[in-house]
Amino acid sequence: MPQTSAAPPQSAARYSLPAMALHWLLALLLVGMFGMGVYMTDLPFSPTRLKLYNWHKWLGVSVLLLSGVRLLWRATHRPPALPAAIRSAMPAWQTRAYHATHHLLYVLFFAVPLLGWAYSSAAGFQVVWFGQVALPDLLSADKAVAELIKPLHKLSALALMGLAALHVAAALKHHWIDHDGLLQRMWPGRA
């Protein structure tokens, strides 16, 4: 595979500071929410488990809102194009995978929290964001529907984490193997 220049991309090829902030904040929230989700499901019924479920829901609503802000930002602020040297070095399948992964990530940024909210509603537990803002139920309470939605929420969360891991692996490959400066486009600080 051809090696591209080790020089980092020009500053014009970097993402904007708001785009970087939304990217990294969403990444931190997703990792925290996923870790909490895995941990809390194995806990016995207790005040700690109930507290973690509430925090998980709060993070989910926050992820949903930040995803909306991020999508709005992306729609109104065109991301920098891949540098020509990177585009020419990437096989066509990698370019397609790059675009497909980003599109699927955006779909899952919305699907996972909405499925969680729908599950909570169907299970009869209203989501109260940060214990202050009561959100409307997406569905009427129905235990049978809740049992149908629960595995969809879990599978979509696993898919989101799998795609995020693929995204990270690709970024690290570009950084450590290709040495093409791609990671610096989204890394805060100087290029």
Mean pLDDT, range 152-164, rounded to an integer = 97
Which pLDDT score, from 0 to 100, does residue 8 have?
43
What kind and span of H or E run contains 129? strand 128-129
| Interhelix angle 17-41/47-76, nearest 10 degrees | 150
| Class of the CATH-defined domain 11-185 | mainly alpha
Length of the chain: 191
Mean pLDDT, range 183-190, rounded to an integer = 84
More confident residue, 101 or 84: 101
Tens digit of each residue's pLDDT (9 = 90 or more) over 83-96: 888 888 889 998 89
**Which tokens is 153 given?**
């929420």
Which pLDDT score, from 0 to 100, does residue 62 have?
96
Which pLDDT score, from 0 to 100, does residue 191 have?
55
Q: Which residues contact 120 (CB under 8 A, 6 or more apart)?
A: 57, 126, 127
The answer to whether the CB of 50 falls within 8 A of the CB of 20 is no
Mean pLDDT, range 115-130, rounded to an integer = 96
Which pLDDT score, from 0 to 100, does residue 88 have?
87
The mean pLDDT value of the chain amounts to 90
17: three-class secondary structure by DSSP: helix
Which pLDDT score, from 0 to 100, does residue 1 have?
43
Tens digit of each residue's pLDDT (9 = 90 or more) over 3-45: 444 444 344 488 999 999 999 999 999 999 999 999 999 999 9
Task: State the DSSP code for 126.
Answer: -
For residues 122 and 126, give the distance between their C-alpha atoms in angstroms, rounded to a whole number. Answer: 9
Question: Rg for the chain (alpha carbons), in Å?
Answer: 19
Residue 80: pLDDT over 80: yes
Which pLDDT score, from 0 to 100, does residue 6 have?
43
